[in-house]
Amino acid sequence: MSQDLPLTIEDAAAALRAGEVTATQLTSGFLDRIAALNNTLGAFVAVTPETALEAAAVADEDFAAGVDRGPLQGIPLAVKDIIATHDAPTTANSRVLDPEWGKGTDAPVVARLRAAGSVVLGKSTTSEFAIGLPDPDKGFLVPRNPWQLEHSASGSSSGTGIAVAAGLALGGLGTDTGGSVRSPAAFNGHTGLKVTFGRVPKNGVAPLGYTLDSVGPMARSAHDCAVLLEVMAGYDSGDPCAARVDVPKYAEMLTGDVRGLRIGMPIPYFYDSDEVSEEVRTSVFAAVEVLKGAGAEVDEIVVPHAKQAKDANHITLIAEAYAYHRDNLVNRWTDYGRYTRRTLVRGAFLNAGDYPQAQRFRSFFRRAVAELLREYDVLITPSSPSPAPRIDEMSPEKQLFSANFTGPWNLIGLPAAALPCGFSGAGLPLSMQIIGKPFAEGEVLKVADAYQRLTDWHRKVPEVLSPQP
């Protein structure tokens, strides 16, 4: 990757204030990289150069006038294409969504980023309606892992994950219902934060699972995620699920000090499953040793019924997604991508007892994990059992029956961050997951930041990729 552009939001913010670069130059540089690489990587479904450069010019005028709106002023970002923006259509990477959906409006989370002076570069690729595997027959670019193009960038916030990893944006927005912020962060080798349910308003976002969805920041570092979250978070009356909880100064909480921190490592399911590769297991254990060396205390523990939690999350997600899509599945079946419709239609096969039983388990699991988190500050697991698979080896059925280490935390609405902690022998990123107490994003980010101060995995970048002719 060219070093002409800053690597992180923190780097860019410092360069802007030092006069080493203007917001217009920064934005132009990222737009040029998108033009060169997007056909290869499939990171963006729509780019908005006019409004991006207008926002950058305003940021430059503010800097010149001594107006500083904070660390996001002049920072180029990507917005997942299920989140409304006034300057580009929202398609959900689908031929089904009404073209008038969200037209001409910014979702509150986008409006907050713009008010802080950030620059929206465009709409980033998503799995169709945040759930289906890519279907090239529908005319959208296939998202590809910038480390190895034949491998998955994961989903559903694929495009933002690619954009951050490949230097097409400094950060951006994803959504997470079963792992859709953390999985792309894990596969693409950067940091992503799933927030507590209700922490960030999700009105203006096409729904997937009504009781599971969250909007989260994606960036290279925990520090950058903290800066984004500080702007994104907070109550909005348009979202009935939004929480009336104060928003702390997250960046100020990143002290680097983890002395006395209590870490629980849930070994059953998350580490001892046959699906967990030895490379993943070894890298996460090594990462925890780094934190232990910095003064954290570590215990091996058990999270009861973790596999059932993954299944309950899936039942909840599919039931709620099917409720939203049922009529369109009946009337517009072939307009959906083939993998999306195969996944969504599972909801038709749930019986009347499946959803309430999943909710009964949800209450039990929430109480069980809350008991553990009275004793431990955070839990640490792998983000994924393995590195990114090949795109041609993926299927909805494999996803259904594979171990999943992210979904259990969506089920009970907890914050969780994925961050890089090594590479496989084949050169693919490896990732660990840090899970915290409700609304304790600051603690999760503090642990992630402390690790990143002692390592540099999050600053590794893929080789420069040549665009297709």
Question: Helix, strand, or coil here: 379?
Answer: strand
Phi/psi for 455 (5° steps) reads: -140, 170
Among residues 94, 154, 158, 180, the one annotated as catalytic is: 180
Partnered with residue 301 across adjacent β-strands are: 266
Alpha carbon distance 382, 449 (integer Å): 17
Written as six digits, the tokens of 363 are 């209450």
Amino acid at position 14, single letter: A
Alpha carbon distance 369, 436 (integer Å): 10
Partnered with residue 445 across adjacent β-strands are: none
446 touches 258 (CB < 8 A): yes
198 touches 413 (CB < 8 A): yes
Alpha carbon distance 177, 183 (integer Å): 11
Alpha carbon distance 84, 105 (integer Å): 6
**What is the side-by-side strand order in the sheet with 297-301?**
44-47, 119-124, 76-80, 171-176, 214-219, 191-194, 416-423, 429-435, 378-382, 262-266, 297-301
Question: Helix, strand, or coil here: 382?
Answer: strand
Look up tokens 């998503």; give the residue: 126
96 touches 321 (CB < 8 A): no
Look up tokens 């950030």; give the residue: 118
Parallel/antiparallel/unpaired status of strands 429-435 and 416-423? antiparallel
Q: Is 80 a catalytic residue?
A: yes
Residue 289: name the closest of 432, 425, 191, 424 by CA.
432
Residue 164: name the closest of 139, 147, 140, 142 by CA.
147
Q: Is 180 a catalytic residue?
A: yes
Partnered with residue 47 across adjacent β-strands are: 122
Residue 205: name the closest of 345, 101, 56, 355 by CA.
101
Among residues 80, 123, 194, 446, the one annotated as catalytic is: 80
Among residues 156, 183, 221, 383, the one annotated as catalytic is: 156
Alpha carbon distance 180, 93 (integer Å): 15
Q: Is 257 exposed, middle or buried (0-12, 13-18, 19+ CB in 10 A)?
A: exposed
Question: Helix, strand, or coil here: 5?
Answer: coil
Cβ count near 255 (within 10 Å): 10
Which residues are known catalytic residues? 80, 156, 180
